[in-house]
Every structure is written in structure tokens, then in C-alpha cells.
């Protein structure tokens, strides 16, 4: 990508604001105020109302509904209190009273000249938010991955008692929701925040304060979700189907609060990223010159904006059933579990593509750089993303074929689901066309492109089996389904995100990712991944149900194979973690553009200046004109 003007940013003066409240707030004060709010809420609910009042209204601590009220309110109070304590609400409050933040205060909030401290503050610099997301995602993947290892260890042999069945159920639920949240943000969080604004030539995100808010809101959900462990766990799996979730123990409140908080964070982040891309592109960056990763990330978050509120509604309705005895999902009082299933999957299937698209888009960004060829058919890539996004809202009921809901609609939903393989095929076409007759530079990001094609081909084709009503009749609820969605989510989204990490690591840290570590981790993860989930396909096709702590002897070999694969993935992830930490601390210093890429982020030095560009860049060509330009 050619820029007409680009000068290195000059050093900015370090702001020296008065010692106002803003300068005293950080993660510590947030935690203190959050805990204080939670404690006060808990105390008030337990002790404020007099005993006779509570008894008359059926609200005593022997009543599970009142326990749920107390816990849910306490968790939400923690979240709100943390945001107050870290200073997230100062901006809106100051706007309310007509005393806007001064330029100095805004510069202070941007973290200028504050070193490592800014990572623990309400910092509005998009690069800081990107790093916060990156570390947060790594922690979540670590926790979710550890739970996966425990699950696979329990399933290594039939009759294993490594984990008690009740704990196993909770593990499956917590693993599921932790990984789903981590994968939703795994690309758009770190790279959508750090890299994307620079890629489009913007000085910042459209709404820097909301950008920080989206991260810190999400952050408050992490301890809430962790608290489920101490409240009896989540026995429903991540889908939290009603009426199981209505009847589940106190741990379910943690799940509900987490999703409500997460949905708020997603709406804010989605709005911010979409606005930034639509309204803040550099001069000359027409839509057909926008890097494909930016397009993918935008499609993903734009899809999330309408999708996640329905999930939030489902969670709020569950909360109301559990706290004040409404009956959304209780057939005795006019409710229906099918209502939950519909609301959940209206969000649930678009969410798969919210996860998938940024990972694929990152790999499309990487492929032209490493084969030194233009991206094959940019238009087909856009059509693929648009087609997937459009169709994804019309396929939700394929998750409900066997539920008995509207059997007459099974046929139409089968057709829409199978039809979605057409735009998905376009994505393959773009990648294969880009690689065709290229001379690939086989660095780790490029290896991931090949891995994705293999993994996602398996994930996609097995998805066609599952979209078919007769085949789903047999395979539904089996390990085959589990293997299928891991091939799509892990094989595409996580593979893409790891490739993106290796690709943009030099720009985000100023250092190269350790080559040997990244190669070793790549092969351990990819070989282990295929062993793990091909084994799981075997078990599923033979009839092993999913979400069970034990199984028949007939499935023993397939499960042992899967567990061996899982250990390989686990070791590979540890090697990757070592490579990231080691390289970040003492890796080889990276040049400004180690891959010879033509997108704008490689034209700025490390550390990237606060406003990214001293002068706004002017774009005069497309970002993939390697050798010859795309007409």
C-alpha cells in the first residue's frame, strides 16, 4: 500500500495534569470499589429487609429464588462498582454536568508517558486495549484449555474416576463458555484493537473511551464466571438449555451474569469497530482498498451487534424465572423451552461466524504476503463474508431438528444450512487461488494457512452431514458433533488467531516471535489436534454420546487416541506460551517491516506513536499489489 506522506512521529510532551481523581484510579481501586459495591448489595439484600417482610414475600435464604436474587445482584454490583472504581464513568458524568474532560485529562487517559502502569488503568489508547485483550484472551484460553485437558484425562479410559460426574458436567459447561468467549474476542480483541486502526490509517478508534470500556466490562465478567466454581458449577453445558437452567443451582447465576455483562461489552466493541472502519479510513482508502482482515473483522462485529442482544434476552428471561418466578420456560405457567432454544440459536449460529470470519480474514491477510502474490479475487472474499453473514441468520433451527420444534421447517432450514457452504467455498477459492503457483515463504503464519485449509475442509464437510436431517437424526448429540465444531472453531478461528499473533507479534511487541518455538508448537498443536478430533469423529460415528463422563468399552480405543492427541495439543500450547513470553522479553529486535508487507501498519515504527501517524497517510493503491495489481 503506497502512502504519499509518512513521517516518523515526533516525541510528544509528557502530560502533567493536576493530581485529579482520574490520576488516582486504576485496577486496584476498581477492585476495591467493586468488592465494596458487591458486599454492600449482599448485605442490604440479606439484612435490610425485615424478616417478616421477607417471609410474607417468600424471600428468605431458604428460598432458592431469593438466593438467586442475592447472588445475581451481587455479581452485577461488582461489575458496576469496578467500572466506577476504575474511572470508566467519569467521562459520562462529566458530560452530564457540562464539565467535559480537559485536553490534559484526555491525554492522561490515553496513557501517554505512563509506561507499564497504563495497562492496569482505564487507558483509551487502542494499542494498550489491544494488549489488554491479548493477555486476557491468553489467560482465558489457558483456563479453558486446562479444563479441556481434565475432561480428556477423565475420558482416556472407560470407568475412569479422575473427575466425579457432577464436577465433570460443570467442567464441560465452564470449558465451553470460557472458550466461546475467548474465541469470540481472540482476533477482533487484540488485533482488531491494536492493528486494525493503524491498518486503515486512523489515529485512534472512533470512541476511545468506549474502547476501554468494552475491555474493562469484559474483564469484570472473568471473576464472575470463575465464581461459578465455588457456587456449585454450571451443570447445563454452555448452551444452558431451559428448563435445566431454571432448575440449576446457584452457580448458574454466574453464567447468566457473565453473558449479560459480555453481551454489553460486545455491543460496545462492535459499534466502535464498525464506526471506526466506516468513518475513519485514510484518505484514498476506498472500500476496494481496505485490507481483507479489516473487512472480516468488521463483518464479524457488525454481525454480533444484532445477534448478541437475543442471547442477552434469553439470559435475562432465565434470570427472571430464577429470581422472581416468572415462567418464560415453565410450561405450567405458559412458558416453553422452545422459546429459549429459538432465542439462543438465533444468536448461536451467527456467533459461530462471528468467531470464524476474523480468523479466516487474518489468514487471507497473511497468504498474499508470504507467497508474494495478490489476493486472489478480493471480490469473492467479500462476497463470501457477506454471504455467510447474510445466511447465518437463517439457519438457526438446524440445531433444533431433534427437539420436535416445527418439523415442517426442517426441510427449509436444511436447505439454507447447506446453501451456506457456497459462500464458505468462496473463502477456500480465494485462499487456494492465492496460493496457486506461488512460492511460499514457509514461516509459521504461512504454515497456518495450509493447516486451516486442511482443518476447515474437514470441519466444513462434516457440517454438511450434520445439516442433513436424516444424518443428523443419527449423529445429533454424539461426539461427532463435538469433533465437527472443534474442527471449525479451533481449526479455523484459533489457527487463524495464532497465525495472526505470529504475523503481527513484531508490530505489537517490537520483537520477532521465536522461530523454533513457533514451529515446534505449530506441529505439536496441528498433529495433536487432528489425532484428537479424528479420534472423536470415530467415537461419535460409532455412537458415543457427548457430555457424558463415562462410556462403553466399545469406544475405548477412539477415546484413548483422542486423549493422546489432546496431550500433544496441550504441550504445543505450552511451547507456544513459552515462545511468546520468551520472545516478548528477550526476542530478536524486529525490523519495522519484517515480512515486506504493503499494509499501513508496517509503515509505523515500534513503539507505535500515540496518534499512530504524524500526518494522516494518503492511500494510492490496493494493499496486495505484489508483482501485479488486481483489476
| Sites of contact with other proteins (CB under 8 A) | 56-58, 63, 65, 92, 95-107, 110, 202-204, 206-207, 210, 267, 270-272, 274-275, 278-280, 305-310, 312-314, 316-317, 320-321, 324-328, 331-336, 338-339, 342-343, 346, 610-611, 616
CB nearer to other proteins: give 41 or 265: 265
CB nearer to other proteins: give 3 or 169: 3
- Closest approach, Cβ 106 to other proteins, in A, equals 4
The DSSP code sequence of 41-97 is: HHHIIIIIS-HHHHHHTT-STTSHHHHHHHHHHHHHHHHHHHHHHHTTTHHHHHHHT
Q: What is the DSSP-derived secondary structure letter of residue 628? A: S
- Closest approach, Cβ 402 to other proteins, in A, equals 19
For 232, half-sphere exposure in the C-beta direction (CA atoms, 13 angstrom radius) is 11
- Closest approach, Cβ 401 to other proteins, in A, equals 19
Report d(CA 295, CA 191) in Å as an integer: 13
Nearest CA to 592 among 506, 534, 509?
506
CB nearer to other proteins: give 208 or 517: 208
Question: Strand pairing partners for 283?
Answer: 618
CB nearer to other proteins: give 62 or 553: 62
- Closest approach, Cβ 521 to other proteins, in A, equals 38
Report d(CA 106, CA 525) in Å as an integer: 43
Q: What spatial distance separates the first Cα and last Cα of the chain, rounded to whole Å?
A: 15
Cβ count within 10 A of residue 403: 16
CB nearer to other proteins: give 98 or 411: 98
CA 509 vs CA 226, 500, 582: distances in Å: 29, 13, 12
CB nearer to other proteins: give 106 or 599: 106
339-355 residues labelled b (16+ CB within 10 A) or e (exposed): bbbbbbbbbbbbbbbbb
- Closest approach, Cβ 309 to other proteins, in A, equals 4
- Closest approach, Cβ 350 to other proteins, in A, equals 11
- Closest approach, Cβ 548 to other proteins, in A, equals 30
CB nearer to other proteins: give 302 or 479: 302
CB nearer to other proteins: give 92 or 627: 92
Burial class of 10 by CB neighbour count within 10 A (0 to 12, 13 to 18, 19+):
exposed
- Closest approach, Cβ 413 to other proteins, in A, equals 17
Amino acid at each position: 500500500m503506497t502512502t504519499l506522506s509518512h513521517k516518523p512521529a515526533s516525541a510528544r510532551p509528557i502530560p502533567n495534569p493536576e493530581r485529579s481523581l482520574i490520576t488516582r484510579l486504576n485496577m486496584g481501586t476498581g477492585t476495591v470499589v467493586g468488592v465494596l459495591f458487591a458486599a454492600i448489595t449482599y448485605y442490604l439484600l440479606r439484612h435490610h429487609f425485615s424478616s417478616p417482610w421477607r417471609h410474607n414475600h417468600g424471600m428468605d435464604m431458604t428460598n432458592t429464588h431469593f438466593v438467586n436474587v442475592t447472588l445475581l445482584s451481587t455479581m452485577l454490583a461488582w461489575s458496576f462498582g469496578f467500572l466506577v472504581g476504575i474511572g470508566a464513568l467519569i467521562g459520562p458524568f462529566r458530560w452530564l454536568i457540562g464539565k467535559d474532560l480537559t485536553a490534559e485529562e484526555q491525554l492522561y487517559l490515553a496513557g501517554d508517558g505512563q509506561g507499564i502502569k497504563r495497562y492496569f488503568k482505564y487507558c483509551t489508547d487502542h494499542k494498550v486495549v489491544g494488549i489488554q485483550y491479548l493477555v486476557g484472551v491468553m489467560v482465558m484460553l489457558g483456563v479453558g484449555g486446562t479444563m479441556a485437558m481434565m475432561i480428556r484425562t477423565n475420558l482416556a479410559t472407560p470407568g475412569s474416576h479422575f473427575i466425579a460426574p457432577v464436577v465433570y458436567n460443570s467442567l464441560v459447561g465452564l470449558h465451553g463458555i470460557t472458550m466461546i468467549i475467548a474465541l469470540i474476542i481472540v482476533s477482533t480483541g487484540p488485533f482488531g484493537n491494536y492493528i486494525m486502526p493503524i491498518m486503515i490509517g486512523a489515529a485512534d478508534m472512533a470512541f476511545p473511551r468506549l474502547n476501554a470500556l468494552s475491555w474493562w466490562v469484559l474483564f469484570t465478567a472473568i471473576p464472575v464466571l470463575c465464581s461459578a466454581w465455588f457456587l456449585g458449577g454450571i451443570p447445563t453445558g454452555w448452551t444452558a438449555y431451559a428448563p435445566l437452567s431454571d432448575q440449576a443451582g446457584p452457580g448458574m447465576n454466574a453464567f447468566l451474569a457473565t453473558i449479560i455483562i459480555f453481551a454489553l461489552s460486545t455491543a460496545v466493541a462492535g459499534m466502535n469497530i464498525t464506526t471506526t472502519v466506516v468513518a475513519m479510513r485514510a484518505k484514498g482508502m476506498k472500500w476496494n482498498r481496505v485490507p481483507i482482515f479489516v473487512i472480516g473483522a468488521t463483518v464479524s462485529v457488525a454481525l454480533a451487534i444484532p445477534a448478541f442482544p437475543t442471547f442477552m434476552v434469553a439470559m435475562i428471561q432465565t434470570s427472571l424465572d430464577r429470581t422472581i418466578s416468572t415462567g418464560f420456560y415453565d410450561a405450567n405457567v405458559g412458558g416453553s423451552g422452545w422459546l429459549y432454544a429459538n432465542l439462543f440459536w438465533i444468536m448461536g449460529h451467527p456467533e459461530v461466524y462471528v468467531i470464524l470470519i476474523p480468523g479466516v480474514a487474518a489468514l487471507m491477510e497473511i497468504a498474499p504476503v508470504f507467497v508474494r502474490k495478490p489476493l486472489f479475487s478480493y471480490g469473492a472474499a467479500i462476497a463470501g463474508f457477506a454471504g455467510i453473514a447474510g445466511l447465518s441468520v437463517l439457519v438457526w433451527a438446524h440445531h433444533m431438528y431433534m427437539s420436535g420444534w416445527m418439523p415442517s421447517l426442517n426441510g427449509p432450514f436444511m436447505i439454507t444450512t447447506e446453501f451456506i457452504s457456497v459462500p464458505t467455498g468462496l473463502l477456500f477459492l480465494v485462499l487456494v487461488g492465492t496460493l496457486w503457483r506461488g512460492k511460499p515463504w514457509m514461516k509459521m503464519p504461512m504454515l497456518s494457512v495450509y493447516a486451516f485449509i486442511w482443518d476447515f475442509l474437514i470441519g466444513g464437510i462434516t457440517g454438511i452431514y450434520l445439516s442433513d436431517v436424516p444424518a443428523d437424526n443419527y449423529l445429533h448429540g454424539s461426539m461427532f458433533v463435538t469433533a465437527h465444531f472443534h474442527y471449525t472453531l479451533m481449526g479455523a478461528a484459533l489457527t487463524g488467531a495464532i497465525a495472526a499473533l505470529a504475523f503481527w507479534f513484531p508490530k505489537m511487541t517490537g520483537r520477532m516471535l521465536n522461530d523454533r518455538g513457533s514451529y515446534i508448537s505449530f506441529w505439536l498443536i496441528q498433529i495433536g489436534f487432528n489425532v484428537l478430533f479424528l479420534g472423536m469423529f470415530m467415537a461419535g460415528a460409532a455412537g458415543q454420546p457427548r457430555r457424558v463422563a463415562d462410556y462403553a468399552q466399545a469406544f475405548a480405543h477412539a477415546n484413548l487416541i483422542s486423549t493422546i492427541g489432546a496431550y500433544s495439543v496441550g504441550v504445543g500450547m505450552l511451547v507456544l506460551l513459552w515462545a511468546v513470553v520468551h520472545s516478548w522479553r528477550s526476542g530478536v529486535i524486529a525490523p519495522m517491516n519484517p515480512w515486506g508487507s504493503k499494509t499501513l501498519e508496517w509503515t509505523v515504527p515500534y513503539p507505535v506513536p500515540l496518534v499512530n501517524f504524524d500526518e494522516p497517510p494518503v492511500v494510492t493503491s490496493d494493499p496486495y499489489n505484489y508483482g501485479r495489481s488486481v483489476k
